[in-house]
Each structure stands twice: as structure tokens, then as C-alpha cells.
Amino acid sequence: MKVLVTVKRVIDPYVKVRVKSDGSGVETANVKMAMNPFCEIAVEQAVRMKEAGVVTEIVVVSIGVQQCQETLRTAMAMGADRGILVETAAEVQPLAVAKLVKAIIDKEQPKLVIMGKQAIDDDSNQAGQMVSALLGWPQAAFTSAITVSGDTADVTREIDGGMEKLTITLPAVVTTDLRLNEPRYVTLPNIMKAKKKPLEVLKPEALGVDVAPRLKILKVEEPPKRSAGVKVADVQELVAKLKNEARVI
């Protein structure tokens, strides 16, 4: 079966994000970029399913600037077969992402779509659920286990109180949670091999999708700062502070 995986290019999760002084957004110039960690988990899942003989082809899709080609190459170095970049310099919000991904799904006809549960830049946690809504397919968001058998998949989802188990009919969309797997590191030979894999570049207009943002960002600010704390010498002092100063116990 064919699997489609989405990969977003985001600021590296371990970089300290700085808000621009004009309040228009966060600083992205000369900042280290990386594949969204949840998308890495999605690619890893698809590659493992291919290694297990369940999946025959993995198509990776990214939406964004030209440099997203690097993100697609990384996914191909991990084991994806080919990439599609929907190239645009505009801000694409989750509903528009979902419409673009749906348009590609209509052409590619995958049996399973694996997306990250959330992009760690906008922290929206929407696009996967939206894609399945637009297609009228079942969804399994925040999955920590997937087993495909024939035309159904058994999935375990992370919920607030523990785990939930579902059986969904395919085709379906699943979104990944952290504990689904641990993504592999890419090796140099695989990076070289990935350079030769096909990468198609499209424009949003070619897919007939209007990507104009529905949410207007009025301003972006620093979060309120906490005032500096104090170091206590020992447990006795800590308890005294809690009782007499903070009065929380």
C-alpha cells in the first residue's frame, strides 16, 4: 500500500526563540531549522512499515519555502521514496495546509496518511484532523501504536487519562505522538542516495487551493517574565519560605 507523510520545516526545537522587536513575529533569519519532530516520527513509522513489507511506497509532502526541499531530502534519506514540495513564501495556516494535502491525496490515492500531531512552531494541532474531515475519512490522532491488517488499522491513542484503542477502516489519517517510535539518524550514504530520488515542485495555484490566511496575526509579544527567585540553603529554609512567605502550604 502507498503511504503519504507530511513534513514541516520549523525552527529547531532546541533553539531559543526570539520575538522580533516590531511585534510582527519571531526571528527566523539565520536560525537553525529542522524537521518538525512529530513529522520525523511520522516518516520513521512509514519507513518501518515499509521495512515490514506492509507499505510499498512512501510519498513525502512539504508546504513552504524552497528550503523545504532540504526537509524532504532528509525524509528521503530516512527512507521515503519521493517528495512533493508545494512551494510558497506565504504563511500557510492549518486549514489551507489541509486543503493542499487533500488535493495531493486526491491525485496520489494513498491508503494511509501519517502526519505529525502538531507543528512545534504554531502549536496548532489541527492539520491532520482537518485532512481527514475534508476527505470524510476516519482519523486517529495522537497515536502511540499502529498495526495495519488488510483494510483496517488497530491504533492506540494517547488520551488525557491514559490510552484508547480504536479500529479504523482504511483509508485513514493518523497523527503521531512522541512515543510511537524513535526516529533513526540519517547516514551519509543514505543522504547521497536521497539526492537522486524524485522531487516534484508545485505551486498552490496548480492545486486550485486558496491559501489566503483566515487568521490575522495582530501582534506577537514576549510572554510575561517571572520575577527572579531565591536560592534556599536547605529544606528547613524552604519549608519556612513556603509557610511564611509564599503561604502555599
Ligand X SMILES: Cc1cc2nc3c(=O)[nH]c(=O)nc-3n(C[C@H](O)[C@H](O)[C@H](O)COP(=O)(O)OP(=O)(O)OC[C@H]3O[C@@H](n4cnc5c(N)ncnc54)[C@H](O)[C@@H]3O)c2cc1C
Contact footprint for ligand AMP (CB under 6 A)? 6-8, 36, 38-39, 62-64, 92, 94, 97, 115-116, 118-119, 122, 124-128
Residue 149 CB, shortest distance to other proteins, in Å, is 13
Residue 57 CB, shortest distance to ligand X, in Å, is 27
Of these partners, ligand X, ligand AMP, other proteins, none, which one is at the site of residue 8 (CB under 5 to 8 Å by kind)?
ligand AMP
How far is Cα 62 from Cα 32, in angstroms, rounded to an integer? 18
Q: For residues 22 and 234, which CB has a smaller minimum distance to other proteins in the complex?
A: 234
Q: For residues 8 and 73, which CB has a smaller minimum distance to ligand AMP in the complex?
A: 8
Q: For residues 37 and 83, which CB has a smaller minimum distance to ligand X in the complex?
A: 37
Whether 92 and 61 have beta carbons less than 8 Å apart is answered as: no
Measured between its terminal Cα atoms, the distance across the chain in Å is 58
Of these partners, ligand X, other proteins, ligand AMP, none, which one is at the site of residue 92 (CB under 5 to 8 Å by kind)?
ligand AMP
How far is Cα 72 from Cα 61, in angstroms, rounded to an integer? 7
Q: Is 79 left (phi over 0), alpha (psi -120 to 50) or beta?
A: left
Residues 6+ apart with CB under 8 A from 39: 5, 6, 7, 8, 75, 115, 116, 176
Q: For residues 74 and 126, which CB has a smaller minimum distance to ligand AMP in the complex?
A: 126
Reading the block at residue 178, the C-alpha cell is 512522541
Q: Give the footprint of ligand X on this chain (CB under 6 A).
A: 13, 37, 120
Residue 91 CB, shortest distance to ligand AMP, in Å, is 9
Residue 61 CB, shortest distance to ligand AMP, in Å, is 6
How far is Cα 177 from Cα 44, in angstroms, rounded to an integer? 12
Q: For residues 32 and 216, which CB has a smaller minimum distance to ligand X in the complex?
A: 32
* 74: nearest Cα among 130, 36, 122: 36
Look at the block and give the residue holding cell 537522486. 196
Of these partners, other proteins, ligand AMP, ligand X, none, which one is at the site of residue 76 (CB under 5 to 8 Å by kind)?
none
How far is Cα 135 from Cα 30, in angstroms, rounded to an integer? 38
Q: For residues 90 and 178, which CB has a smaller minimum distance to ligand X in the complex?
A: 178
Of these partners, ligand AMP, other proteins, ligand X, none, which one is at the site of residue 235 (CB under 5 to 8 Å by kind)?
other proteins
Of these partners, other proteins, ligand AMP, ligand X, none, which one is at the site of residue 141 (CB under 5 to 8 Å by kind)?
other proteins
* 210: nearest Cα among 93, 119, 65, 66: 93
CB-nearest residue to ligand X = 37
